[in-house]
Structure 1
Amino acid sequence: MKWSEQAWLSIEPIYESILQMPFIKELIEGTLPLEKFQYYLMQDSIYLEHFGRALAIIGARATHIPDMLAFFRFAETTIVVENVLHESYFKSFGIVDKDNIQPACHHYTHFLKSTTALEAVEIGMAAVLPCFWIYKAVGDYIYQQQKGLNNPYQKWIDTYSGEEFGIAVKSAINICDTNATQTTVAIQDKMTEAFIMSSRLEFDFWEAAYINRRWR
């Protein structure tokens, strides 16, 4: 069994919990309250800036040149292309200024940057993978489950269920699998631990948007 297959099995309960979240169910129906999606967009915009930096750190530390180039491309796509998507949403939903970073986003981004900077590079690769893989899986699920037309969140759904994003996800998975085969069992175990932690933080990120979790 590939490392990625074993890693996904380890987070299946988390993934299933994500699919059952009110945030996801209401995205499917197009009934998610605007203020909850606005919170999500503003925090996600902040998150993507830090996520892009984490990807660049992996690129700088990658052992193999193709991996280095792949992660630099991931970083560029994250910062440039996805920020364009958010800017279009900001205009559509009347968002003028970004919010301050809130607890869930703060926790997740600091976990990613500290892991990619201080742990073995393979562990960093595993830590950023859920943001690729879970988003693609959730995007596909929402796309398949849609029940009506004129969903106000259709552009977001199309982005994460699209073929172009799917290619990037497969590339990130393959890179993790290749690097896992070339490292120690101990590092593989830590890769799985990082993958699980980031998956938990994915759940927490969506939950925070739904309940409007903020600093006290």
Structure 2
Amino acid sequence: MKLSEELKEVSQPIIDDIYNDPFIQDMLHGKLPEEAVYFYLKADASYLREFANIYALLIPKVPNIDEVKFLVEQIQFIVEGEVEAHEILANYVNKPYEEIVTEKVWPPSGDHYIKHMYYNAFAKENAAHTIAAMAPCPYVYQVIANRALNDNALNRESILARWFDFYSTEMDDLVVVLDQLMDKLTENMDDREKEEVKESFLQSTIHERNFFAMSYNQEAWDFGGAS
């Protein structure tokens, strides 16, 4: 079994948890609380900006020019294309997206996730480590979206169904390329380093779950002391 296939297999229990957690379930039923939408959009705007920066760090490490071109296209997609999914959520709460994300949030779970990706980009020479930290993001969205579209509980009358429509196809090419890179870059790795890559992938899958949960609960830093 290729490593990319193994990573997908071992991450399924976590993705099942994500799907059954309140954020996705409420979205599925068309009743996601507006406060959760606002928080998610603010946090994801910050996350995606850093995700694009990490792509830029990954570019010098990939093997050939075609992969470089693809990653450059992905940076452009993050900056422009993925806004379409955000606009769906903004329309759900009936407020302009740009107005929502004017206010930034940087909650603990998002902070931990972003720093996990940066650590792998800066500390690990082999790009497979960075890819392992990044790949769960598109993969989780792809799996959840396709599962939702085949779920009889999906509220097709809600605009939120279009969010699942978007991610059911838009992540496909990216997942394929990241899988190919993962398998190519880990081909000559020893078992110890492959386990590190696997753990990084699973940690990011957990971070994905935490990201949805922090949005649903409006997570904030608690430094103690006087409020």
Scaled by the length of structure 1, the TM-score of the pair is 0.90
Instruction: Name the residue aligned to 1:79.
Output: 79
1:131, 1:45 → 2: CA distance? 14
CA offsets 1:75-110 (integer angstroms, 9 cap, x no match): 221122113543564466325223221111111111
1:89, 1:207 → 2: CA distance? 17
Gaps of 5+ in 2: 223-227
2:185, 2:52 → 1: CA distance? 21
Deviation of 1:13 after TM superposition, in Å, equals: 1.8
Matched, 1:35 2:41: no
Instruction: Name the residue aligned to 2:60.
Output: 60
Provide the secondary structure at the position in 2 that maps to 1:149. Answer: coil
Instruction: Name the residue aligned to 1:211.
Output: 217
Instruction: Name the residue aligned to 1:201.
Output: 207
Over aligned residues, Cα RMSD in angstroms?
1.9
1:14, 1:85 → 2: CA distance? 23
Instruction: Name the residue aligned to 1:103.
Output: 108
Question: Paired residues, what number?
Answer: 215
1:123, 1:150 → 2: CA distance? 41
Instruction: Name the residue aligned to 2:165.
Output: 158
* Equivalent position amino acid for 1:69 in 2: K
Provide the secondary structure at the position in 1 that maps to 2:135. Answer: helix
CA offsets 1:185-204 (integer angstroms, 9 cap, x no match): 33322211110110110010
**Could you tell me whether the CA contact under 8 Å between 1:123 and 1:191 is conserved in 2?**
yes
Deviation of 1:53 after TM superposition, in Å, equals: 0.9
2:72, 2:193 → 1: CA distance? 23
**Which aligned segments of 4 or more residues in structure 1 are displaced greater than 6 angstroms?**
none
1:91, 1:148 → 2: CA distance? 16
Matched, 1:192 2:198: yes
Kindly indicate which of the two structures has a greater share of residues assigned to helix: 1
Greater CA radius of gyration, 1 or 2?
Answer: 2
Matched, 1:12 2:42: no
Gaps of 5+ in 1: none
Work out the percentage of aligned pairs sharing the same amino acid: 22
1:31, 1:142 → 2: CA distance? 15
